[in-house]
């Protein structure tokens, strides 16, 4: 970053929700034409926070970590409680 860039007034996550819905990219070409591409997150896509991303650089790393957690989650689930009917 150049020293003249000032992000002190920036708001973290300001465009997060809009980005998750999809976004448009305009590419201005040297011949004067403009190419417009629309991007939307794919089905099941997950957006990682920066502090998480440094430990899980790609999909394989995330999936391997989550596979290790699945048995722990299954073993620690409390048995379902029966619904109790209220007497009037």
Q: 52 φ, ψ to 5°? A: -80, -40
Q: Which comes out higher in pLDDT, residue 32 or 85? A: 32
Q: Which comes out higher in pLDDT, residue 13 or 87? A: 13
Residue 87's SS3 state is coil
* DSSP annotation of 77: P
60 is a domain residue: yes
Mean pLDDT of all residues in the chain? 83
25 is a domain residue: yes
Indicate the number of domains in the chain.
1
Cα gap 69→63, rounded to integer Å: 10
Residue 13's SS3 state is coil
Structural domain containing residue 30 = 16-40+49-76
The pair of structure tokens assigned to 43 is: 């089905």
What are 6's strand-pairing partners? none
82 is a domain residue: no
Evaluate if pTM is beyond 0.75: no
């Amino acid at each position: 970053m150049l020293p003249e860039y000032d992000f002190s007034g920036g708001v973290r996550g300001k465009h997060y929700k809009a980005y998750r819905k999809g976004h448009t990219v305009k590419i201005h070409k040297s011949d004067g034409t403009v190419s417009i591409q629309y991007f939307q997150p794919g089905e099941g896509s997950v957006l990682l926070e920066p502090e998480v991303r440094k430990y899980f650089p790609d999909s394989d790393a995330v999936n391997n970590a989550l596979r290790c957690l699945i048995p722990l989650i299954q073993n620690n689930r409390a048995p379902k409680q029966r619904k109790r009917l209220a007497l009037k």
